[in-house]
Amino acid sequence: MHIRRDEMAKYGIIATLALALVLPFLSDSMFILNLLVLMLIFIIFASAWNLLAYSGQGSLGHAAFFGIGAYGSTLIAAKSGLSPFITIFLGAAVAAFIGILIGLTCVRLKEWFLAMVTFGFAIIVQTLTVSVLAPVTGGWDGIASTRLLSPAIPGYQLIEYYAVLAITIASIVAIWYIMKSRVGLAFLAIRENELEARAAGIDPVRYRLLAFALSAYLAGVAGALEIHHIGYLTPELYGVDNSFWPITYVILGGLGTLAGPIVGTVVLTVIWEALKATGLTFGRYVIIGIMLILAIIFLPRGLVSLPEQVQEWLKRRKRKEPPSEPAKD
């Protein structure tokens, strides 16, 4: 059974990669290519949020790091003249640094307290951006951002897609590596039982801060990529919407799994665009909200657990066994 699942996962990864590589050639519509780029960026963002949740910390203000990465990268690129491909990582470093600062106030807080502080933090950052920092950031009007690639280059959209795809894959491999390493085990130990983790010699404060820094860094990369892709940024970036989307993606896909954010982002983006085609505006959010609540109640481990759930259900039906309580992981 385990070997089969491993093999399935292997084929799944290969198929996904192959699809990601050929997808731009299946349609020559610029709209779809643009959508794919944004989807990849949000996969990074959702994975970043998921990494923090993996260590047991749920943030309601990840838009702050997304935005700081975007502003950081844009301003560094504008002042120094460096290529956006370099400043993306510098801007993200700024986000990681701020992430450590906010992490320091949060390390002893849990659940709602943490959620509140992170939510408030996004609002504070937005306020700072439009008030004290307005001379640099352009206030509510925003500022122009260097494009990732100059539109003068032929086929620049296609190159951009592959560049973003490469960064996305690198981010996911990095997260996979972190999750598998001792650091990832420490995150899990803290999430499951902090007291026992401490008894085993894990310093929760240090690992919480590390999770904050890593997650903020990746969120910053995602924010910087999006803004250099669009070419313009405004403080709307810090909005509640941007904080809630990664959460919605991850919960629907599967919290705490590597594939969860990817599956969630892809599925929800497709549903979102399909609903858009039917002409719904506010109704789209209502449907997403209902899906989110149904997933939390009936599919707590997300869409990635769906095949398993169906298999189990079929087995039970065959044997006509009374339904057993699903084991908690």
**Site for another protein, rule CB under 8 A:** 53, 58, 60, 105, 108-113, 115-117, 119-121, 123-124, 126-128, 130-131, 240, 244, 247-248, 251, 282-286, 288-293, 296-297, 300
Q: Where are the alpha helices (DSSP H) in the chain?
A: 2-26, 30-54, 63-80, 84-106, 111-130, 134-137, 156-180, 182-192, 194-199, 204-230, 240-253, 259-277, 282-298, 306-319
The minimum distance between CB 294 and another protein, in angstroms, equals 9
Residue 282, classed as helix, strand or coil, is helix
Whichever of 49 and 161 has its CB closer to another protein, that residue is 49
Whichever of 12 and 283 has its CB closer to another protein, that residue is 283
Q: What are phi and psi of 323, to 5 degrees?
A: -60, 130
The minimum distance between CB 58 and another protein, in angstroms, equals 5
The minimum distance between CB 284 and another protein, in angstroms, equals 8
Whichever of 82 and 300 has its CB closer to another protein, that residue is 300
The minimum distance between CB 145 and another protein, in angstroms, equals 23
Whichever of 123 and 169 has its CB closer to another protein, that residue is 123
- Between helices 282-298 and 240-253, what is the axis angle to 10°? 40
Q: What are phi and psi of 144, to 5 degrees?
A: -80, 150
Report the distance separating Cα 247 and Cα 249, nearest Å.
5
Whichever of 107 and 183 has its CB closer to another protein, that residue is 107
The minimum distance between CB 214 and another protein, in angstroms, equals 19
Nearest Cα to Cα of residue 232 among 152, 309, 146, 312:
146
